[in-house]
C-alpha cells in the first residue's frame, strides 16, 4: 500500500504548479494533504477512482486538510472531537480494515513561541487521541507535524534552537509521542541520514542550498514496523515550500 502526505501550502496555488501531474505519476493508494487553504465548494477536483474527504478551517484561506483514497474507508471522522481544537480543519481520520490513517496539520507555535501554550495543550490532546485509536487497531499518522525532532532533522540546529518548530518543549512532545508506542518511519529506516528535509523557507535560496527542516512525517504504531517497506522524502517534487513524503506498507503477514 502506497501512501503520500504533502503540505501543499494552498492547493489552488499548487494546482498551478503541477499538482495533478504529480498526483497521477505517484499513483498512490491514499494521498493526504495539509494546508489546503480552501473550502470544498471553492474547487472542482477531478480525481477518477478516488474518494475525497475534506476538513476545512472555519477561517477562510487558512489551514485545512484533505484525504483522497482509492480504498473505501470503513468510516471517516473529522477533528479530535474537542471543540477547542476542531475549528481549524487540522485532522482527518480514516479507518481501514487493518489500521487507522490520521492526516494531521499540527498548529505552529508561531514567531516568539506566541502560540506555544496552545501547541502544548494540543500535543497532549492529540497524543491521547492517537493512543485511544491505537488501543483499537494500529495507527498510521502522517502530516506536517511542525517540529524537527532531533538536530539532524534541520540544517542549522544551533541558530534555530528555541525557535518555533525546534523549541525544547515541542521536541520533548515528539519524544513523548514516540515513547507512547509509535515509530518515526524515516528514522527507523535511516537513523543516521543527514540532509534529508521536507520544508525549506522561501527566503535566502534555502531550497537551492538544502537549508531545510524535516517536519513532515509518517509515524506508525510500533507493531506496524515490520510492514514498513520504505519511507521516502520526495525532495525533487516542487509546487510548495514542503515536499511530499511517502510510506510504502507491506501487507500484514
- How high is the pLDDT of residue 30? 98
55 annotated to bind ligand: no
132 annotated to bind ligand: no
Question: What is the enclosing helix (H) or strand (E) of 25?
Answer: helix 19-26
156 annotated to bind ligand: no
Residues with Cβ within 8 Å of residue 251, at least 6 apart in sequence: 1, 227
Q: At what angle do helices 116-136 and 168-179 cross, to 10 degrees?
A: 10
Average pLDDT, rounded, for the chain = 97
pTM: 0.98
Q: CA dist 17 to 25, 65, 126, Å?
A: 14, 19, 32
205 annotated to bind ligand: no
Other CB atoms within 10 Å distance of the CB of residue 117: 11
Confidence of residue 8 (pLDDT cuts 50, 70, 90): very high
| 248 or 44, higher pLDDT | 248
Give the dihedral of Cα atoms 54, 60, 62, 63; nearest 10 deg.
Answer: -20
Closest CA to 5 of 250, 201, 252, 242: 242
Confidence of residue 215 (pLDDT cuts 50, 70, 90): very high
Q: Which three cell numbers stand for residue 160?
A: 534555530
Q: What does the pLDDT average to over 104-110?
A: 97
40 has pLDDT over 90: no
Burial of 124 (0-12, 13-18, 19+ CB in 10 A): exposed
209 annotated to bind ligand: no
144 annotated to bind ligand: yes
Q: Are 92 and 78 in contact (CB under 8 A)?
A: yes
- Catalytically active residues are 105, 144, 242
253 has pLDDT over 80: no
Q: Which three cell numbers stand for residue 218?
A: 509518517
For residues 222 and 219, what is the distance between their CA atoms, to the nearest angstrom?
A: 9
Q: What are phi and psi of 120, to 5 degrees?
A: -65, -40
- How high is the pLDDT of residue 41? 84
- Among 93-97, 162-166, 168-172, 203-207, where is mean pLDDT lowest? 203-207
End-to-end CA distance of the chain: 14
Question: What is the enclosing helix (H) or strand (E) of 82?
Answer: none
Q: Are 226 and 251 in contact (CB under 8 A)?
A: no
Confidence of residue 71 (pLDDT cuts 50, 70, 90): very high
Longest dimension (CA), the chain: 48
Amino acid at each position: 500500500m502506497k501512501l503520500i502526505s504533502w503540505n501543499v501550502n494552498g492547493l489552488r496555488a499548487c494546482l498551478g504548479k503541477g499538482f495533478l501531474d504529480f498526483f497521477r505519476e505517484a499513483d498512490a493508494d491514499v494521498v493526504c494533504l495539509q494546508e489546503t487553504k480552501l473550502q470544498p465548494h471553492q474547487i472542482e477536483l477531478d480525481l477518477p477512482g478516488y474518494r475525497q474527504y475534506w476538513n476545512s478551517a472555519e477561517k477562510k484561506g487558512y489551514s485545512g486538510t484533505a484525504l483522497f483514497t482509492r480504498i473505501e474507508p470503513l468510516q471517516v471522522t473529522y477533528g479530535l472531537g474537542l471543540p477547542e481544537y476542531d475549528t481549524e480543519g487540522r485532522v482527518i481520520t480514516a479507518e481501514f480494515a487493518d489500521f487507522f490513517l490520521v492526516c494531521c496539520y499540527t498548529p505552529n507555535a508561531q514567531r516568539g513561541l506566541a502560540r506555544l501554550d496552545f501547541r502544548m495543550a494540543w500535543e497532549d490532546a492529540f497524543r491521547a487521541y492517537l493512543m485511544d485509536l491505537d488501543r483499537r487497531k494500529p495507527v498510521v499518522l502522517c502530516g506536517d507535524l511542525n517540529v524537527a525532532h532531533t538536530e539532524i532533522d534541520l540544517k542549522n540546529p544551533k541558530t534555530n534552537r528555541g525557535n518555533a518548530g525546534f523549541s525544547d518543549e515541542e521536541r520533548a512532545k515528539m519524544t513523548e509521542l514516540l515513547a507512547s508506542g509509535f515509530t518515526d518511519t524515516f528514522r527507523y529506516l535511516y537513523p543516521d541520514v543527514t540532509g534529508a528535509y521536507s520544508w525549506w523557507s522561501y527566503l535566502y535560496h534555502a531550497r537551492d542550498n538544502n537549508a531545510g527542516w524535516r517536519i513532515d512525517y509518517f509515524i506508525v504504531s510500533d507493531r506496524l514496523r515490520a510492514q514498513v517497506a520504505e519511507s521516502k522524502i520526495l525532495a525533487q517534487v516542487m509546487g510548495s515550500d514542503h515536499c511530499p513524503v511517502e510510506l510504502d506498507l507491506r501487507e500484514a503477514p
